[in-house]
Structure 1
Amino acid sequence: MGPRPVVAEVRRAVREAVGDVPAGALVLVACSGGADSLALAAALAFVAPRAGLRGGLVTVDHGLQEGSARQAAEVVRVAGELGLEPAEVLTVTVGRDGGPEAAARRARYAALDEAAERLGAAAVLLGHTLDDQAETVLLRLARGSGVRSLSGMAEVAGRYRRPFLGITRATTAAACEALGLRPWEDPHNADARYTRVRVRSRLLPALEEELGPGVAEALARTARLCREDADALDAWAESAYQNVQADSAISEKLGPLPEGSVVLDIAAMGDLPVAVRRRVLRRAAVAAGASAGALGASHVLQIDRLVVEWRGQRGVDLPGGVAASRRYGTLILARGRP
């Protein structure tokens, strides 16, 4: 008799996620001990040897609550029972910049990056589920985000892979039960001081009650559709970016510019749809040295006005010491003001 359907489902998801990893490579699972990542660890332990891969585990001790070191040690013990090797605790210090959730996330990913490099891992699996994806879409929607942001978490982002984005949290809990695993319940997951916890415990249930079941699935589907659209627009914008570079004759009229400056031909941008043009402008600003993380929609809108609403206004200062200005029918993005 085969495994329970929920167990087969999590194993299938992991098998598909690592299908392109070279034989003999190490795949790590980031495991907190909760149901999602514990089911992921168990699935990797089953799939890895059958796929000719090595499966390992890392758990991050954020040190934010009493007993965290003991819990991390327990996760490593369970990893040994599952046959995952290596299995390590990564102890981090969480700062305060950007709030507790963002600071913990930065510390966690920095530790995972270091461990993956040191251990030579080809991939790191994360236990985010369909429910996590739905929560992410709601949080970003509330901030007035664009289509790229609403696309949520990617199934593959560099070395990171999220096999469970099509699997519900209830499925991972049921898989753990079927496998005789006892997940850890993180007290932070019930702490209403955290925005995501309020979305999970209050907002999504309210939407389900008022609109009917299937809201989480619909939000996750929205993320997938937005990602497809965003990928297509980004590809279009990348091609357009190459085509709107000012030619050498125009650039010579501008005189010397700081190294790394980007000069765009405004006339060549005239027929681009707004969504593509603004992606081109963001791409150019980052290429010139603007901070990608700090460059917001309002900055891009101000640059766009230099292109389509030119009234002789002064240039635009951008994060990272870059300025955008207009001269001789060109848009110049450079460090400092040309």
Structure 2
Amino acid sequence: MAVLVTGGAGYIGSHMVWSLLDEGEDVVVLDRLSTGFRWALAPEAKFYEGDIADRGLLARIFEAHAVDAIIHFAGSVVVPDSVSDPLTYYNNNTVKSHALIAAAVEAGVPHMVFSSTAAVYGTPQQAAPVAEDAALKPESPYGASKLMTEIMLRDTAAAHPLTYTTLRYFNVAGADPRGRAGQSTAGATHLIKVACETALGRRSKLQIYGTDYPTPDGTCIRDYIHVSDLADAHLKALQRLRAGGSSLTANCGYGRGFSVLDVVDCVARLSGRDLPVETVARRPGDATFVVADASIARHELGWQPVHDDLDFIVRSALDWEEHLGKRNDR
């Protein structure tokens, strides 16, 4: 059997490909390389450059490979961009996912693991870890586009022989501890990535979007999960589905949060450099406090994260940034 990884040349997808190969899986990647990189792919993976909405290409992939599962990462992920350009987000994240799901049903692919987001919750009503049964109130087109795809997948699975796992990510960060993959997208908006670039002089300053939130230091609080632990959650989800597990939705986070200023202080300490910081107005779509209750992932998937440490996450991200700098200097 083969696993099709959409968006497999991107940040999280490239880590997933390595994890699957480490487990001896046959991996096929479909990526249009809009934000991913061909060089980021493990050489053992079979690669197709193209769009997930290309039904002809999908049919050829399913015909050429015994795909029994799709791990679906492809999509657009920047919250402020979704506010300014909602139609692109609904097209990339919802309409194109519709095409992928339809092609999977037509080809008889039995399993799918879907990359969703904690943005489906919006701002939780209380400053406490949010569980999967919390109210779904996305505050951005990004969150809404992902929620629409969750609903599509749920309803499709009710009508066809397809089982799925939806994983709602909290804030993904860090890089492969073995140095094989990391966040490489130019202009990325992930806080730890931006802070590391600033520490290494690749950005002139770090902007903090609002210091007037109702939190201890006035900045937003997030649950940061190491990308390798997230890839492992997908692997556990795949194994569970193949073993006959029913469809499931699960949060992926550590259950504790750090503020923006906590992250800035950590990056400064580990890099040994002060970060030039500029405070600006709040950003549209940013929630105040988002931390995961990941009990379902731990109990149902048997997921046991091993990198639940902000220093480890930041150190791996800094190491990757230094690697990128050397690579770009060649």
Same fold by TM-score greater than 0.5: no
TM category (shorter chain) comes to under 0.3
Greater RCO (CA < 8 Å, at least 6 residues apart): 2
Q: Give TM-score, length-normalised by structure 2.
A: 0.25
Pick the structure with greater CA Rg: 1
Structure holding more helix per residue = 1
Structure holding more strand per residue = 2
